[in-house]
Amino acid sequence: MVTEEEQVLSGFAQVFVYIFSYTFLLSVAAAIFVAWFIRDSLKVDDIDTKHVLVTGCDSGFGNLVAKQLDRQGFHVIAACLTESGSSDLRNAASPRLKTVLLNVTDSVSIDRAVEMVRRETVERGLYGLINNAGRSIPIGPTEWLQPEDFRKVMDVNLMGLVEVTLKCLPLLKKAKGRVVNVASILGRLSLVGGGYCLSKWGVEAFSDSLRRDMRHFGIKVSIIEPGFFKTNVTRLDLIEADLQRLWDHLPDDVRDTYGHKYLEEYLKAQRFSMNILCSSDISKVTSCMQHALTARHPRTRYSAGWDAKLFWIPLSYLPAFVGDFFINVMLPPPKQC
């Protein structure tokens, strides 16, 4: 028969086992975190000997990261779409930074840019490629769009990125370099119709296959998944003007199914959402790009922005009906629904 004293001792033993178990698990978790943090903090050497090509440098993420990498000592080759963007960037950077005009939808333009990179890098090869060039419009309800509207965005965000990457691969293999592709949280959740979400899903898929294929050659591939930031891609005046164009070109019978006030309500909901979500601190994105280039062990994916980390990416792992619910709350329903 178990005495009262033995029961007390047994209870103490169980408490001790629980405490020891939890303490052990917490210690293991803390050790793993410290080891990860140390590994994540290790940096590459000889930055001043490395060349990096950045696309889409006229403004936004590309413009800022080009200047930041230049200040760090990289040999930056900044690809701009316009001569004015190229000139402004050269004036804001050191003489070490070079610019090149690049239209990622034009194969001839890509060939010229890659040849310039080859001349600049000589035998060292290209250490880093940041595929940042992109556009968002036309974007809107799927029924409002034509096939050419999809192509305009897909050609820049996906096919242009693919072609630039493929033509730079020989130079990247020579340097055992890095590819940093700018995707989006909209590469996880399709919140709106048009080529933007499709292109960013494509960037995610292309980057995953590229990473697995190129690891054998020492090339590392990282994906940046920004949330909503204030850049030309999210400029409301441009988005709203294009939505008005799409609305004006709809057949009368299609427009009637949405109701004559639908566009007004849609724009109002869009402004409200963008004002809440859009961050002006684009350095949160460029710091991810910098880490992907300078870390000895770059991450496979980087999320940038509070909305990406706390809302969109967690939402992407939940059942589809949960995401559908949030989108339905954010946007107005058509009249005939």
CATH number where 145 lies: 3.40.50.720
pLDDT averaged over the chain?
Answer: 92
Q: Find out whether 24 and 33 touch, Cβ atoms under 8 Å.
A: no
d(CA 163, CA 76): 20
Q: What residues are labeled active site?
A: 196
Q: How many domains in the chain?
A: 2
Same domain, 96 and 19: no
Same domain, 18 and 131: no
What pLDDT digit, counting tens, does each position of 123-156 carry? 899 999 999 999 999 999 999 999 999 999 999 9
Q: Which domain holds residue 26?
A: 1-41
Residues 6+ apart with CB under 8 A from 59: 85, 231, 232
pLDDT category of residue 25 using cuts at 50, 70 and 90? confident
Same domain, 30 and 108: no
What pLDDT digit, counting tens, does each position of 93-110 carry? 999 999 999 999 999 999
Structure tokens at 124: 């060292």
